[in-house]
Amino acid sequence: MDEYYQFFVALFTLLVLLYLYYKLFPMIKWLYSNTINKININLPIPSPPKLPILGHLHYLGYLPHRSLWDLSKKHGPLMLLQLGSRPMLVVSSAEVAKEVLKIHDVSFADRPELDTVKRAFYHPKDVIISPYGEQWRKSRSIIVHQLLNTKKVKSFNSIIEEETTLLVEKLISCSSPSSPVNLTNMFESLGIDIIYRSTFGKKMGEIEHGKKVADMINEGVGLIVNFSIGEFIPWLAWINKLNGFGAAMERVLKTRNEILDTFIQEYLDDMEAASNSSRELLFAKDDKNEEFLIDTLVGIYRGGTPGVSIDLESVKALILNVLVAGAETASTTLEWAMTELIRYPTILKKLQDEIKQVLKGKRDINENDLEKMHYLKAVIKETLRYHPPIAMNLRECREDVNVMGYNIVKKTGVIINMWAIGRDSAYWDEPEVFLPERFLNSSIDFKGFDFHYIPFGAGRRICPGISFANEVIELVLANLVHKFNWALPDGAKGESLDVIEQPGITNGRKNPLIVIATKS
C-alpha cells in the first residue's frame, strides 16, 4: 500500500512540475537548457534522456543502487546524471573507482553539500559529511588515533563479549521449534547496546535520555533518506513548508541539541563534583577502570591530550557520528550473513565444521580461535561483497580535474556504486552467486586497496570504524553458528527466504529475518 501511495505522490508531483514548467515558468527552459549545455561542454559523458526540471531524478527509483546499476549497463561505468540542478557522476566499475578514490582522491575528497545533512551533523565539525580541509583532518585524526585506534578497539572486546553472551542466552531462553525469533530486532538491539556501552559505558535503556537519542537518530535518518526536493530544485524549497518536512527537521534538530547538551553538561558537572581520589562518572563504570569514548572526547576538550584540542560542538558532532554510523554497519552485515547461511545450508554446515575443528570441544570462542577461522572470514567478506552495508559512496569534486579523458568541473557530485562494483562480472566469477570460497587463499581485503571490493569505501574518506565493526561481526557470527542450529518457520526451505532490500542509508532487509534457533 505504501509503495502505491509513494507512486501516486511522485506522479502527482511530476504533473505539477510539468505544468509549472510549461505554463508558469517559460524562462526556465532557456535557463535550464543553457546550464546543461555548459555542463555538457565540460562533461561529454554518456547520459540517459532527461526530463525538464527533474533531469534524471526519476531514474533513481525505489532502490537507487539497483536502478543506477541497470542504467550503467546501457550507458557505461562512468555516466552523467542531472539530479534537478545538480550534475552527478555515477561510477560503476573498479577502473573508474580507482581514478576517483586513489589517483584523484584529493580532488574528490568532499561530500555533496546537502543543507539537510549539513545541519543534521553539526557541519563542519563532523567527519561524515564535512568538506575536506584542516577541520576535517583534525576531526578524522581524533576518530582514527584517539577513538578507534587498535588499542581502544581491543579495550572494548569485553563489552562485545558480554553483549554476545547476552544475545546467546536470550536465544537459548526462547529456542524452540514452535517459537520463531526476530533476528533483525535482536541484531539492532545488539548493535545499539554495544555502541552505547562503548560510548557512554551504559546501554541505551540504562541512560535517562537513551531512548530519545535512538528515536531522534531514526527520525533524522529517515528524513535524510527521503530528502528535500529543494536540495535538487532550489526554487521548489517552499514545498518543505507545506509537506511538513521543514517542521519535522527543525523538531529533530531541537531534540538533538537538547539531549546532547544535557548529556555533556551532566557529564562535565559530574566530573567537577567527583573528587580526584574517587572519580565517579555519570556514564562510566569505574569498577573496571574503563575509558569510554565520551571520556576520551571530554578529556581532549578539557585539554588532557597534548597537541589536540576541540570545542564543545565538535564533541557533540563526533559522538553523533559514532552513534549514527557505529550500530547499523555491524547489525546489517550480521543480518545478511545469517540470511545467506540459512539460504545455503551446505555453506552453514561447512562453517560449523570449521568452528568445531578449531575449538576442539571448547564451548567458548576467544580472539585466538577467531584468527584460525578462515572460512568464517571468507563468509563475512562474501557477505560484504554481496550485501555491502552502504550501497553507495558519495563524493564531490573540489576542483576541475580530468578523469578517464573527461573534464570534470568543480562541484560535480559523484555516486560510487559499491554494490554494483561488487557484482561486476569483469572482476568476479559468478557474481550473482553467494560463494565464500572465492575469498579462500585470496589476498583481497576490504581495507580500500582492491578497488573491485570496497564495501567500506576507499581513499581518505574510507570508513574509520572497519576494525570495530569486524570485531563485532566475527565474534557474534561465530557464536551463533557454533551454538545453534538454524531453520525457517513451518519447515520452509532455505531457498525460499527472501533477499528483498529496503531503501535507506544502510542496505538492509525489507522484511525482518524470522527464524527458528535450536541449541546445538
The predicted pLDDT at position 4 comes to 45
Q: Confirm whether 215 is domain-assigned.
A: yes
Better-predicted residue by pLDDT, 171 or 120: 171
> Range of 267's domain?
93-519
Q: Confirm whether 54 is domain-assigned.
A: no
- Please name which of 19, 71, 20 lies closest in space to residue 50, comparing C-alpha atoms: 71
Q: Confirm whether 86 is domain-assigned.
A: no
Q: Which residue has the cell 509513494?
A: 6
CA distance 292 to 294: 6
Q: Which residue has the cell 587463499?
A: 441
Query: Measured at the alpha carbon of residue 204, what is the angle toward residues 125 and 258, in degrees to the nearest 5?
Result: 45
Report which DSSP code applies to 51.
B
Least confidently predicted of 22-36, 247-261, 488-502: 22-36
Query: CA quadruple 402, 408, 414, 416: dihedral positive or negative?
Result: negative
**pLDDT tens digits, one per residue of 402-461:** 999 899 999 999 999 999 999 999 999 999 999 999 999 999 999 999 999 999 999 999
The 10 Å Cβ neighbour count of residue 135 is 16
The predicted pLDDT at position 78 comes to 95
CA atoms within 13 A on the CB side of 157: 13
Beta bridge partners of 392: 417
The overall average pLDDT reported for the chain is 86
- Please name which of 505, 508, 510 lies closest in space to residue 120, comparing C-alpha atoms: 505
- How would residue 239 be classed by pLDDT, with cut points 50, 70 and 90? confident
pLDDT at 9 over 70: no
Q: Confirm whether 43 is domain-assigned.
A: no
Query: Is 386:422 a contact under the CB 8 Å cutoff?
Result: yes
Q: Confirm whether 49 is domain-assigned.
A: no
- How would residue 95 be classed by pLDDT, with cut points 50, 70 and 90? very high
* Residues in CB range of 365: below 8 A, 6 or more apart: 355, 359, 475, 478, 479, 482
pLDDT at 172 over 60: yes
pLDDT at 37 over 50: no
Joined grid coordinates for residue 283 = 556514564
The predicted pLDDT at position 3 comes to 47
The predicted pLDDT at position 275 comes to 46
The 10 Å Cβ neighbour count of residue 417 is 28
Joined grid coordinates for residue 280 = 565517579
- How would residue 398 be classed by pLDDT, with cut points 50, 70 and 90? very high
Q: What would the mean pLDDT of 1-10 be, rounded to a whole number?
A: 49
The predicted pLDDT at position 266 comes to 80
Better-predicted residue by pLDDT, 17 or 493: 493
In DSSP notation, 453-511 reads --TT--GGGS-TTHHHHHHHHHHHHHHHHHHEEEE-GGG--GGGS---B--SSS--BSS
Query: Is 358:372 a contact under the CB 8 Å cutoff?
Result: yes
Better-predicted residue by pLDDT, 239 or 157: 157
The predicted pLDDT at position 246 comes to 80
In DSSP notation, 405-416 reads TEEEPTT-EEEE
Q: Confirm whether 44 is domain-assigned.
A: no
Q: Confirm whether 184 is domain-assigned.
A: yes
Q: What would the mean pLDDT of 224-253 be, rounded to a whole number?
A: 77
CA atoms within 13 A on the CB side of 1: 0
Q: What would the mean pLDDT of 379-393 be, rounded to a whole number?
A: 96
Least confidently predicted of 79-93, 187-201, 227-241: 227-241
CA distance 105 to 461: 9
Alpha helices in 133-244 (DSSP H): 134-141, 150-155, 157-173, 183-200, 210-226, 239-243
CA distance 188 to 353: 28
Better-predicted residue by pLDDT, 26 or 113: 113
3 burial (CB, 10 Å; 0-12 / 13-18 / 19+) is exposed
Q: Is 99 helix (H, G, I), strand (E, B) or coil?
A: helix
The predicted pLDDT at position 161 comes to 96
Q: Confirm whether 277 is domain-assigned.
A: yes
Joined grid coordinates for residue 99 = 581514478
Question: How many structural domains are present in the chain?
Answer: 1
The predicted pLDDT at position 32 comes to 45
217 burial (CB, 10 Å; 0-12 / 13-18 / 19+) is buried
Angle between helices 293-301 and 183-200 (to 10 degrees): 30
| Pairing status of strand 86-91 against strand 413-417 | parallel
Query: CA quadruple 236, 240, 241, 242: dihedral positive or negative?
Result: positive
CA distance 268 to 338: 42
pTM beyond cutoff 0.75? yes
Report which DSSP code applies to 179.
B
The predicted pLDDT at position 360 comes to 92
- How would residue 107 be classed by pLDDT, with cut points 50, 70 and 90? very high
The predicted pLDDT at position 309 comes to 86
For residue 428, give the CATH number of its domain: 1.10.630.10
Query: Is 502:193 a contact under the CB 8 Å cutoff?
Result: no
The predicted pLDDT at position 12 comes to 60
Joined grid coordinates for residue 322 = 559514532
